[in-house]
């Protein structure tokens, strides 16, 4: 609790309690104004009282030290009691005793009833005014004490209220900090779980991709195996057909050889009489045999011809495809050659232009010569010099 001391007199003490609350300032502005007013009045009255006492003491000392001159009366002594009055009861009593002592000292020399009446009347007036001021100040002191007590009670109640609020806020802050720490731990745990989940998902994705690649590779191998099986089956069928044809041809050759051998044996065994008849029959049989042989040969030739024709058609088709590829490649090559030639021509043209710009031709017979440094350079200047050549000086 802080107090502010106000300037005081000898009998009255003013104590003002300063409350750190902005809401009570407007309420007590009037009391502060009154307090400042009485303080200023007390200071002015003390200054006036001290000046009055100093002058009175000096006058009394002068009167005691020297006899009174003629024409000088006590009524002519300047009094300042009505101008300024003492502020406190202690000062009033001391001043009264001092005045009484001085009056007794000078009563033997110059005492008159008129002066005593005047002094008693002024003393009564001063005591009455001082008593009124003392009562007023006592009343103000009581009011100030009541106000200070009220302010003290309000301050203590507000202090208790604020302390309770601070305690509540501290408890809330502790709870919030615990809650935040708990949430932070939960967030870290959730983050770790999320990281673990992402790692599991990544591993799962990698495993799934690897399984998919293995499945695709397995399907490709199965397809290749199936194709190989089909090709093997076709080769086996072709081999079986070739073996059947071979067996058929061998059987036919054996039959024909047997028929030929029988015919030869029959020819030797028959007599000349039956030779003519048997010859005719043999000729017919031989012709039939030859016809069968020829049929077989025709069939073989036909198969060979068909195979050769299919091979020839395939080769012709491949040849045509190669010719088309060759033609397209040749056209691309011709186009590239034409582009190369055009680029070379453009390059030569640019080189000529550069030579004409930096090394203009003349009839002096020199291949290269320096330009005149005073002549302008550039394509426009070269064209201008070509149109308007400089004549040699004579």
Q: Which is it for strands 2-5 and 15-18: parallel, antiparallel or unpaired?
A: antiparallel
Higher pLDDT, 333 or 26: 333
Give which of 61, 77, 66 is closest to 115, Cα–Cα: 77
Confidence at residue 160, expressed as pLDDT on a 0 to 100 scale:
93
pLDDT digits (tens, 9 = 90+) for 326-360: 788 788 888 888 888 888 888 888 888 887 876 55
**CA–CA dist 151, 156 (Å, integer):** 8
Beta bridge partners, 4, equal 16
In this predicted structure, the answer to whether residue 162 has a pLDDT above a threshold of 90 is: yes
Mean pLDDT, rounded, for 214-218? 83
Confidence at residue 71, expressed as pLDDT on a 0 to 100 scale:
39
Compute φ and ψ for 318, nearest 5 degrees: -65, -40
In this predicted structure, the answer to whether residue 194 has a pLDDT above a threshold of 70 is: yes
For residue 238, CA distances in Å to 24, 49, 235, 241, 325 come to 121, 154, 5, 5, 35
Mean pLDDT, rounded, for 362-368? 50
In this predicted structure, the answer to whether residue 321 has a pLDDT above a threshold of 50 is: yes
Confidence at residue 57, expressed as pLDDT on a 0 to 100 scale:
62
- DSSP SS3 for 18: strand
In this predicted structure, the answer to whether residue 237 has a pLDDT above a threshold of 60 is: yes
Check residue 314 and report its DSSP letter.
H
| CA 14 to mean position of chain CA atoms | 64
pTM above 0.85, yes or no: no
Confidence at residue 210, expressed as pLDDT on a 0 to 100 scale:
83
Higher pLDDT, 264 or 16: 264
**CA–CA dist 267, 283 (Å, integer):** 11
Lowest-pLDDT range, 116-125, 191-200, 214-223?
116-125
**CA–CA dist 359, 130 (Å, integer):** 127
Distance between first and last Cα of the chain: 121
pLDDT digits (tens, 9 = 90+) for 51-103: 555 566 666 666 654 444 333 443 434 343 443 344 444 444 555 555 555 55
| R_g (Cα) of the chain, nearest Å | 75
Beta bridge partners, 3, equal 17
Percentage of the residues of the chain whose pLDDT score is greater than 70: 57
In this predicted structure, the answer to whether residue 270 has a pLDDT above a threshold of 80 is: no
3-state secondary structure 193-254: HHHHHHHHHHHHHHHHHHHHHHHHHHHHHHHHHHHHHHHHHHHHHHHHHHHHHHHHHHHHHH
Q: What is the mean pLDDT of the chain?
A: 70
Confidence at residue 290, expressed as pLDDT on a 0 to 100 scale:
79
For residue 93, CA distances in Å to 33, 58, 106, 256 come to 30, 20, 20, 185
Contact 84, 6 (CB under 8 A): no
Higher pLDDT, 243 or 29: 243
């Amino acid at each position: 609790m802080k107090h502010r001391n106000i300037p005081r007199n000898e009998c009255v003490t003013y104590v003002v309690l300063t409350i750190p609350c902005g809401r009570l300032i407007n309420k007590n502005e009037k009391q502060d104004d009154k307090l400042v007013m009485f303080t200023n009045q007390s200071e002015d009255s003390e200054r006036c009282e001290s000046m009055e006492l100093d002058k009175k003491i000096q006058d009394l000392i002068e009167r005691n030290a020297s006899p009174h001159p003629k024409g000088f009366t006590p009524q002519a002594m300047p009094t300042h009691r009505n101008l300024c009055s003492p502020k406190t009861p202690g000062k009033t009593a001391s001043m009264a005793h001092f005045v009484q002592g001085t009056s007794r000292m000078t009563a033997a020399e110059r005492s008159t009833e008129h002066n005593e009446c005047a002094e008693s009347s002024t003393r009564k007036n001063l005591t009455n005014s001082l008593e009124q001021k003392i009562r007023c100040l006592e009343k103000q002191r009581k009011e100030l004490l009541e106000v200070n007590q009220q302010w003290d009670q309000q301050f203590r109640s507000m202090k208790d209220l604020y302390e309770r609020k601070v305690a509540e806020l501290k408890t809330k802050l502790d709870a919030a900090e615990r809650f935040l720490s708990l949430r932070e731990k939960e967030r870290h745990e959730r983050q770790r779980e999320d990281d673990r989940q992402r790692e599991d998902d990544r591993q799962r994705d990698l495993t799934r991709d690897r399984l998919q690649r293995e499945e695709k590779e397995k399907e490709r191998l199965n397809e290749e195996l199936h194709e190989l099986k089909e090709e093997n089956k076709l080769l086996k069928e072709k081999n079986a057909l070739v073996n059947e044809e071979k067996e058929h041809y061998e059987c036919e050759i054996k039959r024909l050889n047997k028929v030929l051998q029988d015919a030869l044996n029959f020819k030797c065994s028959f007599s000349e009489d039956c030779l003519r008849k048997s010859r005719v029959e043999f000729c017919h049989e031989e012709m039939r045999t030859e016809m069968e042989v020829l049929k077989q040969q025709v069939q073989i030739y036909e198969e060979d011809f068909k195979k050769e024709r299919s091979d020839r058609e395939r080769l012709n088709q491949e040849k045509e495809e190669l010719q088309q590829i060759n033609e397209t490649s040749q056209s691309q090559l011709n186009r590239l050659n034409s582009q190369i030639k055009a680029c070379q021509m453009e390059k030569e043209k640019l080189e000529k232009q550069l030579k004409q710009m930096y090394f203009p031709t003349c009839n002096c017979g020199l291949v290269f010569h320096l330009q005149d440094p005073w002549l302008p350079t550039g394509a426009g200047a070269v064209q201008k010099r070509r149109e308007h050549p400089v004549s040699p000086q004579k």
